[in-house]
Amino acid sequence: MVKNTFYITTPIYYPSGKLHIGNSYTTIACDTMARFQRLMGKDVFFLTGSDEHGLKIQQKANKFHISPKSYVDLMAEDIKKLWQLLDISYDKFIRTTDKEHKAILQKVFERWLEQGDIYLGEYVGWYSVADEEYFTQTQLIEVFYDKNGKVIGGIAPSGHEVKQIKEESYFFRMSKYVDRLLQYYKDHPDFIQPVSRKNEMINNFINPGLEDLAVSRRTFTWGVSVLSNPKHMIYVWIDALLNYISALGYASLDDSLFKKYWPADIHVVGKEIIRFHAIYWPILLMSLDLPLPKKIFGHGWLLMKDAKMSKSKGNVVYSEVLVKRYGLDALRYYLLREVSFGSDGIFTPEGFLDRLNGELANDLGNLLNRVIAMINKYFAGKVPDFANEVTAFDKDLAKTAKEVIDTYHMAMEGIEFSVALEAIWHLIRRANKYIDETSPWILAKDKIKIKELAAVMVHLAESLRVIATLLQPIMPKTTEKITYQLGLSKDALQLKNLRFGQFSKGAVVVKKGDPIFPRLDVKSEIAYIFKQINTGKEKELQMD
Ligand code: ME8
């Protein structure tokens, strides 16, 4: 039997600061995929959440003079509010502080100990007291040597000096599974995407020799302890990765969700954490005799000019600011259209406003406005019945729509949102051109041309119905607005069996359509966005 389920996950984000559009980018992309698969008839489970343990969180809470638990409680609420604002249709929000998650993690850790996959050893690393963090020698920005060439110290990326520390730690035998992992990559060429990232994994991390991973720490207390040796806290990445199965109740009394949805169809992550997902996570799963996720997708970064947008740099844009001023769908559209999903992309206020004015207000907004106005003017709001190939231009419009629907489906299945959107805009532009070609205002002057005029109106309404249907997973609110203005019910939009030429008989459009995307004054809006970025920077610096 073909499995009709679709399990998709975002990374679980650190609540060490307010989430910005970089995190929204991943989550909106996953939401779009989840909505698309639901519309295609799949039984979807969409998981997101927060990664709440570790030193970073502990330190942040200390700064605010509250307990780590109070701090993460506040932050988790804040994240949920953001996802509500962005209309994220997740099925579950997991927190690594959830009691169920912690119990599963501890149980699994004990199993690894029993199996001999985890052993007690000694961790030797470079420790920065100021940062309260370990670094490997390669992470240091400067290394000090004695006269015999032996490494005796160095400088952490923060600029603080590091000292060598030896500490008892548990290790996971990663090396034991490396050959199986490589074989898995070979047998499943689509496992890591984009494919270039697979070569990166093999060349940079596996070929040089995969070391056993230190999976416990004694330097922090805010975490999940090892059941049989509570002095040790489980390493935050093990804690975090386990969320993908603990959220489904793996190894718990009720594992029905796990049985139903595992293995995941796709884990979507930013490229900087693909190593954890494409190397460590599959090995952890192998050691539990579990099937591996079908796909790990490592998307590119949103950059500001040439630096990655990040909390610690303070060069961030917050989604709330853009949504409040320009509407949610402007942000959803921009993020998925601007950047090809596997690549990096640069956020610029100019680029954002260009797309809003050119593609949303002009191309799409005007098409809808013109069509609603003409149907009101020429047919008192009632959309004429569909008739095939009445004017010389109908055939080409229908052909374009068919090609666009096909391209869209391929692109959405292939996680190429920008290609899917480009295809939709091809149809939007084709429909606008169709208005110019058929010149309805001239047809309207001639009573004999009424049939042609009717065909033009319904072809345009039908193009808009197709456009609204295709936009549904990406910009659900815009779809609703277009559907409402066209006088259609939600049932008229069936993505799965979408064909051009199915416009509902007897639909009556609204009397006057409100512009769905107002045109903006570019100069003043650029100034506004820049001001918000700078304000954001001040806020972050104050918090640090
Ligand atoms: O890494 N551009 O959490 P995190 C694009 N807790 N995406 C970005 C981005 C940017 N500038 N900045 C952040 C963690 N992201 C771990 C994950 S999963 C088991 C544990 C997105 O809060 C992107 O998806 O640092 C990236 O991988 C994630 O946020 C990192 O979030």
Q: What is the mean pLDDT of residues 429-436?
A: 98
- By most ligand atoms within 8 Å of CB, the mutation choice from 10, 25, 95, 336 for ligand 1 is 25
pLDDT at 138: 83
**Residue 490 CA, ligand 1 centroid: distance in Å:** 35
C-alpha 363 to ligand 1 mean position (Å): 33
pLDDT (average), residues 479-487: 98
pLDDT surpassing 80 at residue 516: yes
Mean pLDDT in residue range 58-64? 93
Question: CA geometry: angle at 123 spanning 72 and 107, to 5°?
Answer: 50
**149 Rama sector, left if φ>0, alpha if ψ -120 to 50, beta otherwise:** left
pLDDT at 133 over 80: no
Calculate how far, in angstroms, residue 22's C-alpha sits from the geometric centre of ligand 1.
7
Q: Whose CA is nearest to atom 10 of ligand 1?
A: 22
- pLDDT at res. 302: 92
Nearest CA owner, ligand 1 atom 12: 22
pLDDT at 373 over 60: yes
Per-residue confidence band for 306, with pLDDT thresholds at 50, 70 and 90:
low
Half-sphere exposure of 111 (CA within 13 A, CB side): 12
Enter the tokens of residue 444.
Answer: 């309207």
Q: Give the integer Cα–Cα distance in Å for 185 and 173.
A: 19
11 CA from centroid of ligand 1 (Å): 6
Distance separating alpha carbons of residues 143 and 152, to the nearest angstrom:
8
Contact 156, 135 (CB under 8 A): yes
The pLDDT confidence band at residue 82, using thresholds 50, 70 and 90, is very high
Distance 497 CA to ligand 1 centre (A): 36
How far apart are alpha carbons 339 and 250 in whole angstroms? 36
Q: DSSP letter at 382?
A: B
> What local confidence, expressed as pLDDT, does residue 538 receive?
45
Ligand 1 pocket mutation, candidates 20, 26, 299, criterion most atoms within 8 A of CB: 26
CATH code of the domain occupying 349-519: 1.10.730.10
Q: Of how many residues is the chain composed? A: 544
Q: Which atom of ligand 1 is nearest to the CA of 13?
A: 22
Q: Can you tell me which atom of ligand 1 is nearest the CA of 14?
A: 22
Using one digit for the tens of pLDDT, what is the confidence trace for 153-178? 999 988 899 988 888 999 999 999 99
Centre of ligand 1 to C-alpha 301, Å, is 9
> Which residue lies with its CA nearest to atom 16 of ligand 1?
13
pLDDT score, position 540:
45
pLDDT band at 220 (very low <50, low <70, confident <90, very high): confident
For ligand 1, atom 3, the nearest C-alpha belongs to: 13
- CATH 1.10.3470 corresponds to the domain 114-206: no
Q: Of ligand 1's atoms, which has the minimum distance to the CA of residue 243?
A: 19
Q: What is the mean pLDDT of residues 84-107?
A: 98
Give the residue among 287, 265, 290, 270 at the shortest CA–CA distance from 191. 265
Q: What is the mean pLDDT of the chain?
A: 93
Strands 5-13 and 266-270: parallel
What amino acid is encoded at 20 in this protein? H
Q: What is the pLDDT of residue 543?
A: 37
Cα–Cα dist 277/74, whole Å: 28
Q: How far away, in angstroms, is 26 Cα from ligand 1 center?
A: 8
Check residue 132 and give its pLDDT.
61
Residue ranges matching CATH 1.10.730.10 in the chain: 349-519
* Mean pLDDT on 495-501: 96
Task: Report residue 535's pLDDT band, with 50, 70 and 90 as the boundaries.
Answer: low
Instruction: For residue 80, give Cα distances in angstroms to 73, 74, 106, 476, 521.
Output: 11, 10, 27, 19, 32
334 band by pLDDT with thresholds 50, 70 and 90: very high
Helix segments in 311-385, DSSP class H: 319-326, 328-338, 349-355, 366-379
Segment 369-392 shows an average pLDDT of 95
What is the enclosing helix (H) or strand (E) of 459?
helix 450-471
Please give the distance, rounded to the nearest whole angstrom, from the Cα atom of residue 144 to the centre of ligand 1.
32
Phi-psi region of 314 (alpha: psi -120 to 50; beta: other; left: phi over 0): left
pLDDT at res. 541: 39
Q: What are phi and psi of 43, to 5 degrees?
A: -90, 105
Closest ligand 1 atom number to CA of residue 10: 24
User: 54 C-alpha vs ligand 1 centroid, how far in Å?
Assistant: 16
Quick one: what percent of the chain has pLDDT higher than 90? 84
Pseudo-torsion of CA 423, 424, 426, 431, nearest 10°?
150
61-75, 293-307, 397-411: which has the minimum mean pLDDT? 293-307
Best mutation site among 273, 301, 309 for ligand 1 pocket (most ligand atoms within 8 Å of CB) = 273
The rounded distance, in Å, linking the Cα atoms of 282 and 412 is 26
Beta strands 216-217 and 229-234, pairing class: antiparallel
pLDDT, mean of residues 242-261:
98
- Boundaries of CATH 2.170.220 in the chain? 114-206
Q: What's the average model confidence in pLDDT over 369-379? A: 98
Average pLDDT over residues 515-539: 82
**Which residue has the least CA distance to atom 4 on ligand 1?**
13
19 Cα–ligand 1 center, Å: 9
Question: How far apart are the CA of 104 and the centre of ligand 1, in A?
Answer: 24
Pocket of ligand 1 (CB under 6 A): 11-14, 22-23, 25-26, 51, 240-241, 243, 269-270, 272-273, 301-302, 308-310
- In ligand 1, the atom with minimum distance to the C-alpha of 11 is 18
Q: What is the rounded CA–CA span in Å between residue 481 and residue 137?
A: 56
Least confident of 108-122, 487-501, 507-521, 522-536: 522-536
For the CA of 15, the closest atom of ligand 1 is: 22
- Taking CA atoms only, the protein residue closest to ligand 1 atom 21 is 23
Check: CB of residue 94 under 8 Å from CB of residue 66: no
- Of ligand 1's listed atoms, the one at least distance from the Cα of 19 is 22
Q: How far is ligand 1, taken at its centre, from the CA of residue 135, in Å?
A: 20
Locate CATH 3.40.50.620 in the chain.
5-112+237-325
- What is the homologous superfamily of the domain 5-112+237-325 according to CATH? HUPs (3.40.50.620)
The pLDDT value given to residue 310: 67
DSSP H helical ranges for 188-345: 196-200, 236-241, 243-246, 256-261, 274-275, 281-287, 319-326, 328-338
User: Closest Cα to residue 12, out of 101, 107, 133, 87?
Assistant: 101
Question: What is the pLDDT confidence band of residue 313, given thresholds at 50, 70 and 90?
Answer: low
> What is the tens place of the pLDDT at every residue in 27-59?
999 999 999 999 999 999 999 999 999 988 999
**Which of 10, 13, 24, 97 is the best mutation target for the ligand 1 pocket, counting ligand atoms within 8 Å of the beta carbon and taking the most?**
13
pLDDT at 53 (0 to 100):
96
Is pLDDT of 308 > 90? no
What contacts 482, CB < 8 A, 6 or more positions away? Answer: 368, 464, 467, 468, 471, 516
What does the pLDDT average to over 12-24? Answer: 94
CA of 13 to the centre of ligand 1 (A): 6
Comparison of pLDDT for 45 and 543, the residue scoring more: 45
Q: How many angstroms does the Cα of residue 455 sit away from the middle of ligand 1?
A: 50
- What is the widest separation between alpha-carbon atoms in the chain? 99
- Tell which residue, 113, 12, 24, has the closest CA to residue 330: 24
